[in-house]
Structure formats: C-alpha cells, structure tokens
C-alpha cells in the first residue's frame, strides 16, 4: 500500500510538471501538486520503509 501511495505521488508530480510547463492547465494542475505533496508527507510521517 505504501509503494502505491508513493507511486501515485510521483505520477501526480510528473503530470503537474507536464501541465505546468506544456499546457498551463491552471487550477487543476496545482491541485494535483498539492495532493501529491500531501501523499509524500504522509509517507514520510509514517516512517515506514519500502519492502
């Protein structure tokens, strides 16, 4: 489950970067960035290591 959250966070950051630099899609891209940052913070706070 933790690997899944980390993977989703990375994918969202990639989508944000593509949207921000290529398409400039506006508010939706920034929401994706915030969601990915929250997921990364949750993973760091939990302190669990990937298997």
Is 28 part of any domain? yes
Q: Is residue 35 part of a domain?
A: yes
The total of other beta-carbon atoms located within 10 Å of residue 12's CB is 21
pLDDT of residue 15: 83
- Domain assignment present for residue 51? The answer is no
Contacts of 42 (CB under 8 A, 6+ apart): 5
Q: How many domains does the chain have?
A: 1
Q: What is the pLDDT of residues 11-38, one digit of tens each?
A: 888 887 777 766 665 677 777 788 888 8
Q: State how far the alpha carbon of 38 is from the alpha carbons of 22, 23, 26, 32, in Å.
A: 24, 23, 19, 10
Residue 24 included in any domain: yes
**Domain assignment of residue 21, yes or no:** yes
In a domain, 40, yes or no: yes
**Positive or negative CA dihedral for 6, 10, 34, 41?**
positive
Q: Which domain holds residue 24?
A: 2-46
Is pLDDT at 51 greater than 60 in this prediction?
no
Q: What is the pLDDT of residue 25?
A: 56
- Res 47 pLDDT > 60: yes
């Amino acid at each position: 489950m933790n690997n899944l959250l980390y993977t989703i966070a990375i994918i969202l950051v990639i989508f944000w970067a593509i949207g921000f630099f290529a398409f400039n899609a506006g508010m939706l891209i920034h929401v994706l960035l915030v969601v990915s940052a929250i997921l990364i913070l949750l993973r760091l706070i939990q302190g669990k290591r990937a298997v």
